Structure 1
Amino acid sequence: MDVTPELVRHLAELSRLRLSEEEIERVIPELRSVLGYFERISDLDVDGLEEMVRPIFSANVLRPDVAAAGLTQEEALAMAPDKEDGFFKLPRVVEEGR
């Protein structure tokens, strides 16, 4: 796959990135290098190799999933720095009209 300025522009658009023409030109050799490594990896003969998830053995240590009593609404709200009408009150993070 050839890395062209058009391809970089397309990838930038899909990634919601705004790249200047200088950045596009700088990214082209970097992308070619990364794709070159993938090509080298795909050329490796892995027939007969045992599948491996991790290079070292590890196991998840999980507690049993047992239902337990939680906090009451009053207990939870007692820890809240700001509350209103029985709910946590937070600053607005979404602009209206979007």
Structure 2
Amino acid sequence: MPFMITSAEMEHLKKLARLELSGEETEQIQLEMNKILSYFEKLQELDTEGVEEMQRPIDLVNVFRDDVVGDMFPHETAMGLSVEQEEGFFKVPRVVE
């Protein structure tokens, strides 16, 4: 049986992401997410016997640069964009007990 996102899980995801969606928008996103998950189910059906694992699909090389201090985003501007703040810091929901 394929893994599908339930309505309760969708509500939980909306809360975590602080999304305010209408019922219709929620249903549409839930359908789209379940469609994506069904693609993963299809991938599970592939025969990968003898196929060597890849780290990445393309060769990448790290490009290093000097760590130079530049213009900074003003603190007041950043705080103005936050949903919640406390004593000059961003306040976010607790994710680890």
Q: Same fold (TM over 0.5)?
A: yes
Supply the distance in 2 between the matched residues of 1:20 and 1:59 (Cα, whole angstroms): 44
Aligned CA distance change for structure 1 residues 21 and 44 (closer, same or farther; 3 Å): same
Q: Partner of 2:26 in structure 1?
A: 24
Give the TM-score taking structure 1 as reference length. Answer: 0.55
Aligned CA distance change for structure 1 residues 58 and 7 (closer, same or farther; 3 Å): closer
* Pairwise CA RMSD: 3.4
Give the TM-score taking structure 2 as reference length. Answer: 0.56
Determine which of 14, 17, 39 is the counterpart of 2:16: 14
Deviations 1:49-69 (A, max 9, x none): 111123333433558x9xxxx
Aligned-pair identity (%): 39
Instruction: Pick 1 or 2: higher relative contact order, CA cutoff 8 A, min separation 6.
Output: 2
Supply the distance in 2 between the matched residues of 1:9 and 1:3 (Cα, whole angstroms): 10
Q: Which has the larger radius of gyration?
A: 1
Supply the distance in 2 between the matched residues of 1:46 and 1:37 (Cα, whole angstroms): 16
